[in-house]
Structure 1
Amino acid sequence: MRRPPPELEHIMRKTTAAGIAAGLVAALGLALPASAISDTSADLSVLHGIPDTPVDVYVNGELTIDDFQPGDLAGPLDLPAGDYEVALTATDAADDSSPVLGPITLTLEATMSYTAAAHLDEAGDPTVTAFSNDLSATAAGEGRLTVRHVAAAPAVDVLAGDTAVITGLVNPDESSLDLAAGTISAAVALEGTTDPVIGPADVTVDEGALTIVYAWGSAEAGNLDLAVQNITGLHSSPDGVPSGTAGYLAERDAQMTALWIVGAAAVIAFAVTAGVVVVRRRASQDA
């Protein structure tokens, strides 16, 4: 058996080791960070805010969410940009031909994040509202709090402690604040009052995250409640995040661990390849 020239052996060892390492990187998904939303798709989450009405959710005639319970949040679904027909049916329906709500056409634009809320309007009638989620960057050390009124109730104020931070919010409007990361005691009261009709409840605003609070249910039926949705990844930039932030440290440590694993895999692959070449060389010499 003829042995390749030393220069070719060196190239073979490097190419094989690099190929194995690259394969591991691709398989583990550690090579390049990527946005959860591609240039041609949109994210769609769905909130069920209609009390006492479990449903199935159909998207373009296909059963997408089965036995969806009031107060639950599903998704996000990664969908190509375009128009979608959404219908809610009874949980035992064979198809979406007799919906309890819809079909309603939702238009999703590429790179956008949406939440479709099935809820009651102010008069108590079921409806669907599509909200666009604000994913613009937050300042270092801050997160975004968005409050959405999707309850059968009149205008409300949102209280942080005893102070109204959002006033006169009506169904189906929303209001947003960028706040220092931390936990606030939030409550919902009828406009101009301080007697909570929902809460108080602790709401955590994470650094670099969008926290969305939904007030849903019916004031008349006495079943008003809160639902919370969290969307991460709103950091202004890696350099703009304080190094003492736990979330950033965890993210950095995870990246370093990933790089260490990939580096170790490359070293192992190189060693294995080199060992194979040595064995082949010795076998050739013995022959």
Structure 2
Amino acid sequence: MALAAAPAQAADEATVSVLHGIPGLTVDVYANGQQLLPDFKPGTLTDPQELPAGSYDIKVFKDNEGPNGTPALQKQVEVPAGANATLVAHLDANGAPMLSAFVNDTAPVAAGKARVTVRHVAAAPAVDVRANGTPVFTGLTNPKEAKGEVDAGMIKADVTLAGTSTVALGPADLNLAEGTNTVVYAYGSAADKTLALKTQAITGLHSAPGGVPAGGSGAAANARTDDGGGAPAWAIGLAAAGALGLAAGGYRVVANRRN
């Protein structure tokens, strides 16, 4: 998915990533009438981008059915001031498509520690999340999240049906690096046997003086980008759409000033 900022707040910025968590549905994403993410495939997480803040109107269509068809997803969402956020297209507990906006916690992490965040965005009942066989988050329901700080290092994580030892997902080895927030998404459908995990690493959260400070709002902390190149086409499209101030129905995201 992609966003387009309104000119009224163009001087502000937010860091935004987008995850496609609806199995079997390749989509085209439009922001303010412009196609910004064509052929967006399930399981894809975009690189984080600092984008002009403002109001975002987004429609998500099945591949090649936009912009005049009926959108598969259409909603208004708001991102708080200075946020580092991830937008997730996913299934609700009953299997209907929906979009959720999550604010990523970029507060400093104590020396030797790492933050782990788990987000339930799957068509599945309540779950427990275990680390090395021990439940650490219990009774997590869609579309909720749970988080905590743990000792940095490797853990073996799995997801079980709440209150049981029945494994629904995993186990998966997670490297929880010091000064990071590792975000784990459980997405897909239990009934369709498409449950899967996706991880997002948000770096630069070391406590002073040992690392890079997150800044007053924490928006300076980003998930790492590996390609080393410039902004992708979807991010450039967002800025362009924001400059034009186009109007359209769909998702609305308001992301405000980074301190």
Q: Please classify the TM superposition score into its range, dividing by the shorter chain length.
A: 0.7 to 0.9
Could you say if the C-alpha distance between residues 90 and 39 of structure 1 is closer, same or farther in structure 2, counting changes exceeding 3 Å?
A: same
Match of 1:68 in 2: 40
Deviation at 1:71, TM superposition (A): 1.0
Match of 2:89 in 1: 118
Match of 1:86 in 2: 58
Distance in 1 (CA, whole Å) between partners of 2:117 and 2:151 is 14
Q: Is 1:173 aligned to 2:173, yes or no?
A: no
Match of 2:18 in 1: 46
**C-alpha contact (below 8 Å) 1:39/1:111 kept by paired residues:** no
Could you say if the C-alpha distance between residues 240 and 76 of structure 1 is closer, same or farther in structure 2, counting changes exceeding 3 Å?
A: closer
Match of 1:260 in 2: none
Amino acid paired to 1:49? G
Match of 2:124 in 1: 153
Match of 2:162 in 1: 191
1:139 is matched with which residue: 97, 110, 113? 110
Could you say if the C-alpha distance between residues 226 and 200 of structure 1 is closer, same or farther in structure 2, counting changes exceeding 3 Å?
A: same
**C-alpha contact (below 8 Å) 1:82/1:109 kept by paired residues:** no
Q: TM-score, normalised by structure 2?
A: 0.74
Q: Which runs of 5+ in 1 are unaligned?
A: 1-37, 242-287
The Cα offsets for residues 69-109 of structure 1, whole Å up to 9 and x where unpaired, read as 1111113232222221122112223526531111x223234
**C-alpha contact (below 8 Å) 2:115/2:150 kept by paired residues:** yes
Q: Is 1:55 aligned to 2:27, yes or no?
A: yes
Distance in 1 (CA, whole Å) between partners of 2:113 and 2:35 is 38
Q: Secondary structure at the match of 1:150?
A: strand
Distance in 2 (CA, whole Å) between partners of 1:112 and 1:236 is 19
**C-alpha contact (below 8 Å) 1:151/1:224 kept by paired residues:** yes
Task: Between the two structures, name the one with larger relative contact order (CA 8 Å, sep ≥ 6).
Answer: 2
| Percent identity between the two aligned chains | 48
Number of aligned residue pairs = 203
Q: Secondary structure at the match of 2:47?
A: strand
Q: Which runs of 5+ in 2 are unaligned?
A: 1-9, 213-259
**C-alpha contact (below 8 Å) 1:81/1:109 kept by paired residues:** no
The Cα offsets for residues 238-283 of structure 1, whole Å up to 9 and x where unpaired, read as 3479xxxxxxxxxxxxxxxxxxxxxxxxxxxxxxxxxxxxxxxxxx
What aligned pairs does 1:1-287 form with structure 2 within 5 A after superposition?
40-95=12-67, 97-102=69-74, 104-239=75-210
Deviation at 1:66, TM superposition (A): 1.8
**C-alpha contact (below 8 Å) 1:162/1:194 kept by paired residues:** no
The Cα offsets for residues 104-133 of structure 1, whole Å up to 9 and x where unpaired, read as 223234421111111000011000011111
Distance in 2 (CA, whole Å) between partners of 1:39 and 1:160 is 42
Could you say if the C-alpha distance between residues 93 and 210 of structure 1 is closer, same or farther in structure 2, counting changes exceeding 3 Å?
A: same
Deviation at 1:155, TM superposition (A): 0.3
Q: TM-score, normalised by structure 1?
A: 0.67
**C-alpha contact (below 8 Å) 2:31/2:56 kept by paired residues:** yes
Q: Secondary structure at the match of 1:45?
A: strand
* Higher alpha-carbon Rg: 1
Q: Secondary structure at the match of 2:206?
A: coil
**C-alpha contact (below 8 Å) 2:28/2:66 kept by paired residues:** no
Distance in 1 (CA, whole Å) between partners of 2:116 and 2:110 is 13
Distance in 1 (CA, whole Å) between partners of 2:204 and 2:55 is 26
Which structure dedicates a bigger proportion of its chain to helix?
1
